[in-house]
Amino acid sequence: MGDAEWQAELNLNLLSAVRLDHAFMPGMIAQGAGVVIHVTSIQRLMPLPDSTTGYAAAKAALSVYSKSLSKEVSPKGVRVLRVAPGWIETEASARLAERLAAEAGTDLEGGKRMIMDALGGIPIGRPSTPGEIASLIAFLASDRAGTITGTENVIDGGTVPTA
């Protein structure tokens, strides 16, 4: 990757969140309440060197920044959380699965299996849906999660192995 590609990944996946936080944080601190949820990725733990190094590095930086921010502003009433999705079945990922399937001479399910295999498998046997990710974010933003701060919440169908 060249400098321009690295800068684009950092702008999109790290600096945009930092800029939004700088804009909204003073108001949240002034009212003594707020929730910031950064969407990181399991790629920070499991980068795919052939295709996601810049993305994974930016998401790793976002995760560290988020943890630091939570330590700074949680005592002021602002919770900061991270959601780390694995593979999400979006229109774009479906197109990738279709392309992989066509290149390998298989069907869409075969293309999806190729993606899951590249990730080392997904124990539940399928990617997450956008609705599942949104439900987790909605819960974390709610008062029901009022004592949760500083954590990274992985939603990946079991993809990331534990130590």
Active-site positions?
55
Per DSSP, 127 falls in state P
Pick left, alpha or beta for residue 150 (phi over 0 → left; psi -120 to 50 → alpha; otherwise beta). Answer: left
Pairwise CA distance, residues 116 & 122, whole Å: 6
Across the beta sheet with 152-155, what order do the strands follow? Answer: 34-39, 78-85, 152-155
- CB-count burial class (<10 Å; 0-12, 13-18, 19+) for 125: exposed
Pairwise CA distance, residues 29 & 83, whole Å: 22
Pick left, alpha or beta for residue 78 (phi over 0 → left; psi -120 to 50 → alpha; otherwise beta). Answer: beta
